[in-house]
Structure formats: C-alpha cells, structure tokens
Structure 1
Amino acid sequence: MPPKHSKNIIITGTSRGIGFELVHLFASQGHNVLALSRNAQPVNNLHFDNISSFAFDLCEEDDYKKVTQFIDNEFKHVDILINNAGMLINKPFSETTFKDFTKVYETNVFGVSELTRIVLPYMKSNGHVVTISSMGGIQGSMKFPGLAAYSSSKGAVITLTELLAEEYKATGPQFNVLALGAVQTEMLKEAFPEYQAPTTAKAMAAYIQDFALNGNTYYNGKVLQVSNSTP
C-alpha cells in the first residue's frame, strides 16, 4: 500500500551501501525517488516504477542541469533531499596532494552545497534537507590518522547546515545533519579492510529514512550523533 501522501525524494550516492538501501526502503513504501550516482545501474536493477535514476557526478557542473530538468518535467516539487554521497581517501597527511583534498571536498562539500542550492527553489516550507556526515567531523570526537581530508570535509558540511538553517528559518525548509559512526559499507571496507563495523547499511538506512520523513518536526540546524560505539 503506498502511503497516503507519497513524497518526492532525491538521494545521492545510491549505487551501493546506505544510499542503495535508502532508495529501496523509500520506493517500497510508495514514495517517488530520484536516485543519483555516478553508476545508475544497481538502482535500475530494482525495477520499481517510482524510482528514476540517471548517471550523475557531483563534480560535473553540467550534470546539475539534468536534475533541474527532471524536477521541472517530473517531480514539480521536492519534499526531501538526502545528501548521502561521499568520498573517502585514507592516507597519511604527508602523502596527500592538493588533488586529493580537491577531490574529497568537491564531492563532500561543494557537491552538497550545489545540489542543495539547485533543489531549494522546489522545496516547500516543510521540506527537509538531510546531509550525511561522520563522527569524524564532530569537534572533540576521536580522530583517525589518514582521514585528514575526509573528516575535515565532514566537519565543513555540519557548519554549512547550521548556516542554511539560520538563513532559511523564516521560510523553511529545515536542514539537519546525521553524523554517523562506523557502518559496514563498501566504502568503509575499501578504506579499512580489517575493520568490522557494528551497524549494517540496511539498519542505518532504516534510521535515516525515518529521520528524513519525520525529524524536521523536532529538529532544525542540528547535528545528531548516530553512533552506538564509544567513542
């Protein structure tokens, strides 16, 4: 049974991990999903009528026009934007290059900023922009060597979210950040092959889905630390 009020939802980073699970969860509940990732194929294999997808790269300026065209022609308005796509480079700081930092920030910060800017005119006062950050981006949290670019970029989107919530507080929509602890995803496995995370992508996706649908009733401009480990 589709929900009484099905929502129009845009999610980035949907070819695997949490993003892929989110697309499946929302679509199976009858919501309309635009799934954006550099590789659209995994989502296309889900065969839901209410999922649309095309190849989209957060670092390619022309790709944003495709999103605008899609909203104009199909969605007309957007209820929820989930900035989930992320890039992680794990290497000692002394070995990182200007290009490494640029690549990480292009996806994790500039891409979040630009897609949000593109989508905002289509959002109503009760819309919700949810950005996925990391515990590594929280000031005072435990830090891991090798993640200078990744964790600092995740700190940047926390501050960006606070600023946007302030700037749009009179009109909406609402902006929140979820700073995730370790989740067992392909991205984590590539960076830390030996580490086994306590939370599955599917379990975390279920939490994020519920928060995206309901969290903006209670939160705006907030960062929630979604981590079941200490630190």
Structure 2
Amino acid sequence: MKKIIITGTSRGIGLELALQFANAGHQVLALSRTIPKRLLGNENISCLSVDLSIEDDLDQVKDFISSSWATVDILIHNAGSLLLKPFTETTAQEFENIYKVNVFGVANLTRIVLPYLQKGSHVVTISSMGGIQGSMKFAGLSAYSSSKGAVITLSELLAEEYKENGIAFNVLALGAVNTEMLQEAFPGYEAPLSAAAMADYIFNFALTGNKYYNGKVLQVSSSTP
C-alpha cells in the first residue's frame, strides 16, 4: 500500500487517477479547489480543498501528512491552469496567474512534501507536449506552454539535487487527452485518448517508472495536438 498525493483531482485525469489508486488499495490525498462528489465517502481517499496558487493553502497538506501519514511514497503534480489568448492581449497578471499554479504551485508543494519523501519515493510532474523544446506550438498558449517547459527543467534539476536520497523525479509530457481542459484549448477537437485511459498509463508509471527513470521527460503522445 502506497501513500499518494495527487493534485488537480476535481475532474479529468486527476479524478480518474485518485479513484484508480484508491480502488487498488492505496491511500490517496486528493488536492483540488473543488472536491468532487465521486471522491467523497471512499475510505482510501482524503480530500483537501487547496488552491495551489495560494502558498498558505499548502499548510493544510503539511498538517495532514505530519498528523496522519508521516511519509509519502508518490507525489503527482497533475493540476494545471490554461489560458488561451493572444500574447499581446495577455496581461502580466494573467501570465503570472498561470505560473502560480503550473510552476510555483509545483515548486511550493514539492518543498513541503520533500521532508516526508524517502528512498524509493517518486515525484511525477504532468507536463505537456507544448512544453517540449522543438515540438509543435499553438498560438494563444504562450503562458501555458512556457510554464509547462519550466516545470520540465525544474524536475530535471530536482532529480540531480536529490539523487543521493534515492528520490526520483520524472516528467510525463502529455499530448491530446479528451478532457475539459483540452476542449477549452481546442473546442470541438476529439482526442484519441480518454482521461481514464491516460490515467491508466500514469497509474502504472507512478508505481514503477522510478525503477527505470530519474530526471527524464517521457513524451506520451499519439497525435498532434
């Protein structure tokens, strides 16, 4: 039985992941601003209403771990904020808001969880193909895609910094998945993979990927976008 923290569990991939881990007998701490009804009442899932863009909100996570778990086996940074807007129309505040969730939220939560990680722990950051250097880019996603590139580099650096501790940091750069977020970016586009199907892949990678990878970025995409 693993103790697993997942962000962005209100919908899509994060919601499906929380249910898969819980149904497999693992203990899940589900973090999202809105707590979905599907997670309530599951004996293996604890939910906290957390806004990753507010650093003080993360104190709840520290309090929970120290009082209930003591250790963490897997941390999955799945939450993401997206803005589809021409660059010249994007304000500095809007740009910063995307980074507060997609970059600073990842960094701040990792900093809080690190003391509870141990040898064999795995930190998985969900990025995007838009954050991969040289990949196809899409107009209007300057804040989102650049933030996803930033967390790739952050994960590579943390893998180096904590390799002696036996803690693995890896990134999954996802392509198109049929989620609400995809529909916000590409209205009407039908992606080849469902949220549940992608959750299957992430579920297995989070449990076993650190045996084979550390500081790596895996491109998980069968289509463009």
Q: TM-score range by the shorter chain?
A: over 0.9
2:21 paired with 1:21: no
Letter of the structure 2 residue corresponding to residue 30 of structure 1:
G
Question: Following the alignment from structure 1 to structure 2, what is the Cα–Cα distance between the partners of residues 230 and 86?
Answer: 20
2:6 paired with 1:31: no
Contact 1:16 1:42 in 2 (8 A): no
Instruction: Output one character per residue of 1:173-222: Cα deviation in whole Å (capped at 9) or x when no partner.
Output: 10000000010001111222121111100000000000000000000000
2:217 paired with 1:223: yes
Question: Following the alignment from structure 1 to structure 2, what is the Cα–Cα distance between the partners of residues 210 and 63?
Answer: 29
Letter of the structure 2 residue corresponding to residue 212 of structure 1:
A
Q: How many residues matched? A: 225
SS in 1 for 2:121: strand
The structural deviation recorded for 1:170 is: 0.9
Larger fraction in strand: 1
The structural deviation recorded for 1:41 is: 3.2
The correspondence for 2:100, drawn from 103, 106, 112, is: 106
Letter of the structure 2 residue corresponding to residue 155 of structure 1:
G
The correspondence for 1:52, drawn from 42, 46, 64, is: 46
Contact 1:37 1:55 in 2 (8 A): yes
Letter of the structure 1 residue corresponding to residue 80 of structure 2:
G
Partner of 1:3: none
The structural deviation recorded for 1:56 is: 0.4
2:85 paired with 1:85: no
Question: Following the alignment from structure 1 to structure 2, what is the Cα–Cα distance between the partners of residues 179 and 114?
Answer: 21
Using structure 1 for the length normalisation, give the TM-score: 0.95
Letter of the structure 1 residue corresponding to residue 2 of structure 2:
K
Letter of the structure 2 residue corresponding to residue 198 of structure 1:
P
Question: Following the alignment from structure 1 to structure 2, what is the Cα–Cα distance between the partners of residues 230 and 60?
Answer: 33
Letter of the structure 2 residue corresponding to residue 95 of structure 1:
E
Contact 2:83 2:98 in 1 (8 A): yes
The correspondence for 1:41, drawn from 22, 36, 43, is: 36
The correspondence for 1:142, drawn from 99, 114, 136, is: 136
Question: Following the alignment from structure 2 to structure 1, what is the Cα–Cα distance between the partners of residues 130 and 224?
Answer: 13
Letter of the structure 1 residue corresponding to residue 166 of structure 2:
G
Contact 1:15 1:42 in 2 (8 A): no
- The RMSD of aligned alpha carbons is 1.0
Question: Following the alignment from structure 2 to structure 1, what is the Cα–Cα distance between the partners of residues 192 and 148?
Answer: 21
Percent of aligned positions with the same letter in both sequences?
Answer: 66
Question: Following the alignment from structure 1 to structure 2, what is the Cα–Cα distance between the partners of residues 42 and 100?
Answer: 30
Using structure 2 for the length normalisation, give the TM-score: 0.98
